[in-house]
Structure 1
């Protein structure tokens, strides 16, 4: 059985579409654990209605404690041999679980498919699935190169992996820690180039939230990862990932000289770069690190914003070329 964990907080606008996509899965041996994290809108009422209508749906109500606590509590009460996470403002394709389960074999601890923030790309049908298999160290390197995602969604986990890496509580960006550390704990995983998950971006999304001091949780997560891998040869790769996430924040929130937290971001960027540079392989593999090393100011103001625009255009072209029937 697959346990689907859905943390819910004030998402009445999107919740029904999410729950319908789960209810209509072609793989039917499921339980759906809805964890209402102290919602103040009609989210709880919607959850209760689905639980009354479908015996596979269960509701837990808790005081508002955050998404990571909700996920951990959902895992605790779940019973499935396999676990997947769906955010309550997102949507999954009707055969996503069936596709993931098809490639979950003995010795495989995670099966991952693709997710997208673009509804047009989400609706593209794949021509032919490509299946890749990785050991733990191979998966980690793929994650460091952004080819495997650290997000917990669009994945099917063997239960022991989730239980062995609970989400860090009372922090945002906890996905970064749990996603990377969980790959450290696997035997093997598989990745399929199937777009099964639509990640909805809206004003309440974590990466669209207005900047405040809570965003500095990123550096606590970073310190935890650096400590976890402190004796590991992959430490420079961890630093590279932290650098890339940090520079993405700088662009997203337009953190420039004069911003109240610019010095903190600038200091951490230099710290991550310094650790990453200890590996010539890491520095050679990342033009972003090299560009920043050449001129941090020019990189932040001009180079990186242009690079992101280029990536967005290239990715759309590639998805359409590779997947359109």
Structure 2
């Protein structure tokens, strides 16, 4: 019998994108799926859309619950799952229709615990595709996920996990709002015997104006805690100098991006701003030496990271610019 794939989809107020997401899953060329929808207290018509799809396809399991965040929703989905493999998709993203067919063939051929694929961001491939896959060890996989360019992402969505090996590690920390899946993925990698990295993109990440990454929330500061937890999980004996550098650089880059968003949206809570500034200051040389930041962003990094008043001035000027 073909293996069962559990597809876990947490849903919160994504009515505009939900049908495309669900269609992309239900129309997969690989049919033996268990599709677990977790409506996390949506206030729009997401629940009605889920119920409509559930009535038309017996493969769907629908969980309707009060809002508790994406981590709790994913955890509920994992508990409910009975598949041989587990996959995740965000409800505003979508998949190519041959995703599970191709990834499962590789997983079964190689007896891999995790298969990672390339992905698209707003329909643009994130890396070049050579038509090959590579078998990697834990250290190599972590480097491939945490490097800043042409990576396999530190999220769980463009991957399939063998349930027998990893279901117990597919737990998401509800106290981490940004980077919770990064902690989960790192745990899974460190408990895998064989991992496959397949460059071909299947997963479509969509960045739209209402998404978490396109706005600002004070919960974004938990990103710094997530990166520190990752370093602790890997441990001083296992972490390489290169990997630690990548994780710290990545954390500083995210915090710099969140600080800029806080200013853009006029959020000037001193504790939040100071927390982000401290994370940047600790690795400011790494940011300046990196090729990721533009010249303009490097130019203002010192006043932005050391002066709360300067942040307030930029927020004020941005507010004036918007009004005019």
Same fold (TM over 0.5): yes
The root-mean-square deviation of aligned C-alpha atoms, in Å, is: 2.9
2:104 to 87, 101, 105: 101
Aligned to 2:233: 228
Q: 1:263: Cα distance to partner?
A: 3.4
Q: Distance in 2 between matches of 1:109 and 1:177?
A: 17
2:154 is the alignment partner of 1:153? no
Q: Residues 100-149 of structure 1: CA distance to partner in whole angstroms, max 9, x if unpaired?
A: 10100354111111112122549x9x986211110112212222324332
Shift in CA distance, 299/43, structure 1 to aligned 2, threshold 3 Å: same
* CA distances 1:282-308 after superposition (whole Å, capped 9, x unpaired): xxxxx747459xxxx9736379xxxxx
- Maintained 8 Å contact 1:226/1:239: no
1:54-65 mapped onto 2 (5 Å cutoff): 54-65=57-68
> Which digits, 9 at most, give the CA deviation of each residue in 1:242-293, with x for residues without a partner?
332332331354168x96344322322344579xxxxxxxxxxxx747459x
Partner of 2:16: 13
Match for 2:139 among 122, 137, 145?
137
Cα 1:186–1:300, aligned 2, differ >3 Å: closer, same or farther? farther
User: 5+ residue gaps in structure 2?
Assistant: 303-324
For the pair 1:268 / 2:246, whether they are aligned, the reply is: no
SS of match in other structure, 2:50 = helix
Shift of residue 63 of structure 1?
Answer: 0.7
Match for residue 192 of structure 1 among 189, 195, 198: 198
Aligned length: 284
Structure 1 unpaired stretches of 5+? 275-286, 304-325
| 1:38-117 pair list within 5 angstroms | 38-105=41-108, 107-117=111-121
TM-score (norm 2): 0.78
Q: Report SS of the residue matched to 2:63.
A: strand
Q: 1:163 aligns with which of 137, 145, 168?
A: 168
Structure 2 residue aligned with 1:217: 222
In the alignment, which of 225, 245, 257 is matched to residue 251 of structure 2?
245
